[in-house]
Amino acid sequence: MTTLFFATDIHGSDICWNKFLNAGKFYGAEVLILGGDMTGKAVVPFVHLGGEKYHVTLLQQQFEFQGADAYQEMVKRVRSRGYYPYRTTPEELDELSQSPEKIHTLFLQEVLRVFEQWMEIAARKLAGTGIRVYVSPGNDDQFEVDEMIRQSQVITLAEGLVIPLTDRIEMISSGWSNRTPWNTYREADEPDLASRYEAMIAVLKNPKTAVFNIHVPPYKSNLDEAPELDDQLRPTYAGNALKPVGSTAVRAAIEKYQPLLGLHGHIHEGRGQSRIGKTLCLNPGSLYEQGVLQGALVKLGKEKLESYVLTQG
């Protein structure tokens, strides 16, 4: 029997990354799978006002503080939510505000800086453990992170690959999503997604005993319901109106091939399980801003799923 732990959508949270790396030992899992969206959402300027005084705007709240201890405490607070603290001056901040290109460059710089730290932490924690770790960057992850993951000695970049989990069960992986209102990095039209999946499925020995690790959930699976948005990308009816936003290509592939298991994320509110024919689909959801790692612990037998449980910690 092989035990795997799956999590997704940690969006830059140091706390969740460390919990993910510790999950193998904690849960007794031989395989760790991260289903995408490792990147945080924003850079938070730490504006130096002179001396040891700083100003920070976090979640529309204004903070002024001074001293090294207060600075480090605020850095920890910002990083706990997956954001990237950046020390700057009023003059540089004004310059950045007038240049979207410079903001993009700065954001990528901070993302890669944290990714480098994460790869170093993974190497320290996992070297020699025998735990296998697979990552497929999601639609919110820039392409520059791929090479950094490829260089890791303990993490495998799983995008587009067929990976044996056991001698009878293989896994395909993709972090790409269908189109979103935010025009993120890894999005494609449904026919293109279908072609991407078919290319991997064609290599599988037996799709019926496979795991489909696909970031976006199947359409109308109850794992893909997100707040309906108006033309200004604001939730309608105070966020109480939901609509399915999953991929029709994912659903069609699952309906056609009936794999053993689907592992999905993308929709943070979509935590739960769903059956599409014989296929069990799981979305552990995400509470990364609270530093809570939600996951799925799955036990695989020879050619079947022995048990599963959604976890939180």
User: Which of 98, 123, 140 is at the close of a domain?
Assistant: 98
Instruction: Supply the pLDDT for residue 232.
Output: 58
Identity at 205, one-letter amino acid code = K
Q: What is the pTM of this model?
A: 0.95
Are both 26 and 65 inside the same structural domain? no
pLDDT digits (tens, 9 = 90+) for 37-93: 999 999 999 999 999 999 999 988 999 999 999 999 999 999 989 999 999 999 999
Domain of 77 in residue numbering reads as 43-98
Are both 89 and 195 inside the same structural domain? no
CATH of the domain at 231: 3.60.21.10
Are both 52 and 27 inside the same structural domain? no
In a domain, 103, yes or no: no
Band of pLDDT at residue 239, cut at 50, 70 and 90: low
Are both 14 and 62 inside the same structural domain? no
Helix (H, G, I), strand (E, B) or coil at 118: helix
Instruction: Supply the pLDDT for residue 231.
Output: 67
Which residues, in sequence order, are CB contacts of 52 under 8 Å at separation 6+?
A: 66, 67, 68, 71
Q: How many structural domains comprise the chain?
A: 2
Q: Is the pLDDT of residue 212 over 90?
A: yes
Identity at 54, one-letter amino acid code = Y
Dist CA 269 CA 290 (whole Å): 14
What does the mean pLDDT of the chain come to?
A: 95
Q: How far is CA 166 from CA 119, 260, 281, 302, in A?
A: 26, 13, 19, 8
Instruction: Supply the pLDDT for residue 268.
Output: 97
In a domain, 119, yes or no: yes
Instruction: Supply the pLDDT for residue 108.
Output: 97
Band of pLDDT at residue 227, cut at 50, 70 and 90: confident
Are both 91 and 226 inside the same structural domain? no
Band of pLDDT at residue 233, cut at 50, 70 and 90: low
Q: Is the pLDDT of residue 240 over 90?
A: no
Are both 120 and 220 inside the same structural domain? yes
Instruction: Supply the pLDDT for residue 242.
Output: 85
Dist CA 228 CA 105 (whole Å): 31
Q: Is the pLDDT of residue 234 over 70?
A: no
In a domain, 289, yes or no: yes
**Which residues, listed in sequence order, are joined to residue 300 by a DSSP beta bridge?**
2, 305
Residue 264 burial (10 A CB sphere; 0-12, 13-18, 19+): buried
Q: What is the mean pLDDT of residues 254-278?
A: 98
pLDDT digits (tens, 9 = 90+) for 158-187: 999 999 999 999 999 999 999 999 999 999
In a domain, 14, yes or no: yes
Q: Is the pLDDT of residue 197 over 70?
A: yes
Dist CA 30 CA 78 (whole Å): 32
Instruction: Supply the pLDDT for residue 228.
Output: 79
pLDDT digits (tens, 9 = 90+) for 110-160: 999 999 999 999 999 999 999 999 999 999 999 999 999 999 999 999 999
Are both 240 and 192 inside the same structural domain? yes
